């Protein structure tokens, strides 16, 4: 009888050990989260919160009402497009340096220019001034294809790698002088220029579809954001607001 009791106790002990071991192996929650992973998870959450705040305080409070533009601005992770040392500042209401004396525009200006383009999902868009690739990513969320030209090779290469890592398949980058446009893929439904020439480049007007639109800053020290529309081959221009962009360089300068 005593022998039976001891055996019974041993069986219970064994069942307890097996259950405990299998539970701790199967339950992933019990595995320690590596500190790097935890840091990344916190950052993801922190940056999402910052984007929500950016939408509320910088975009909706002003005149950004287009729901598609707002959701693209919420989706695209701007902090990935700025140099590491500016990551924490990525969502402030200011432009930021991206190297080579160039800047990524203030979030509001990116949203405003995108809203002014009135993109449709089948649109083919040309961008002059790839820079960090951020504006191109926003455009790629809302249009079919984005062709973008950057004059500084190092910036073009960096943006190309980042956009590939982020799995964008509808953005095509070329190193060159955007003043001349990109004839090979013309005509474009929409054109956006993110550096400021002192006049609207004729090649861009020529490469725009009839019914299409260009959003472009124009001027040297005093610049105006201009919307250019081509209707029945006529050109209509509308000034929007004063802006401050880096100047458009020319390759022979
Ligand atoms: N759209 C960018 C902003 C870039 S700032 C972004 O989202 O980050 C403007 C960019 O225009 C700079 O990178 C500058 O090198 C580029 N640029 C200046 N003149 C140019 C030209 N003629 N052709 C193409 N890019 C030009």
Which ranges of 81-236 does DSSP label H, i.e. alpha helix? Answer: 107-117, 134-142, 153-165, 202-206
Distance from chain centroid for Cα 130:
11
| Pocket, ligand 1, Cβ cutoff 6 A | 98, 102-105, 128-129, 131-132, 134-135, 149-152, 155, 177-179, 194-195, 246, 248-250
Report the catalytic residues. 105
Tell me the CA–centroid distance for residue 31 and ligand 1, in Å: 47
Tell me the CA–centroid distance for residue 36 and ligand 1, in Å: 35
CA distance 253 to 55: 39
The label of the residue with tokens 């929007």 reads 240
Q: In degrees rounded to 5, what are phi and psi of residue 189?
A: -75, -35
Where do the domains of the chain lie, and which CATH numbers do they carry? Answer: 94-243 (3.40.50.150)
Q: Which atom of ligand 1 is nearest to the CA of 155?
A: 13
* This prediction's pTM: 0.85
Tell me the CA–centroid distance for residue 26 and ligand 1, in Å: 52
Beta bridge partner(s), residue 96: 104
CA distance 26 to 31: 9
Each residue's pLDDT expressed in tens, for the chain with a length of 253 residues: 445 455 566 655 655 555 444 444 444 445 566 676 666 667 678 999 999 999 999 999 999 999 999 999 999 999 999 999 999 999 999 999 999 999 999 999 999 999 999 999 999 999 999 999 999 999 999 999 999 999 999 999 999 999 999 999 999 999 999 999 999 999 999 999 999 999 999 999 999 999 999 999 999 999 999 999 999 989 999 999 999 999 999 987 6
CB 212 within 8 A of CB 191: yes
Alpha-carbon distance values, 79 to 88, 95, 214 (Å): 7, 12, 27
């Amino acid at each position: 009888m005593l022998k039976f009791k001891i055996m019974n106790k041993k069986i219970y002990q064994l069942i307890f050990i097996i259950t405990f071991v299998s539970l701790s192996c199967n339950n992933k929650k019990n595995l320690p989260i590596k500190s790097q992973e935890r840091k990344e998870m916190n950052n993801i959450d922190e940056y999402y919160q910052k984007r929500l705040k950016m939408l509320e305080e910088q975009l909706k409070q002003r005149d950004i009402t287009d729901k598609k533009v707002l959701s693209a601005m919420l989706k695209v992770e701007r902090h990935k497009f700025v140099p590491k040392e500016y990551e924490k500042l990525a969502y402030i209401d200011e432009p930021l340096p991206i190297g080579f004396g160039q800047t990524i525009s203030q979030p509001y200006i990116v949203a405003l220019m995108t809203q002014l383009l009135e993109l449709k999902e089948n649109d083919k868009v040309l961008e002059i001034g790839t820079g960090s690739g951020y504006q191109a990513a926003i455009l790629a969320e809302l249009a079919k294809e984005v062709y973008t030209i950057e004059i500084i090779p190092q910036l073009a290469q960096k943006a190309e790698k980042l956009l590939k890592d982020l799995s964008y398949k509808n953005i095509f980058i070329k190193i060159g002088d955007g003043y001349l446009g990109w004839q090979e893929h013309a005509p474009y439904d929409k054109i956006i220029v993110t550096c400021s020439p002192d006049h609207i480049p004729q090649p861009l007007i020529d490469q725009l579809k009839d019914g299409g639109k260009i959003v472009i800053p124009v001027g040297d020290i005093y610049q105006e954001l201009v919307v250019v529309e081509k209707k029945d081959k006529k050109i209509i221009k509308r000034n929007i607001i004063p802006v401050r962009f880096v100047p458009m360089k020319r390759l022979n300068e």
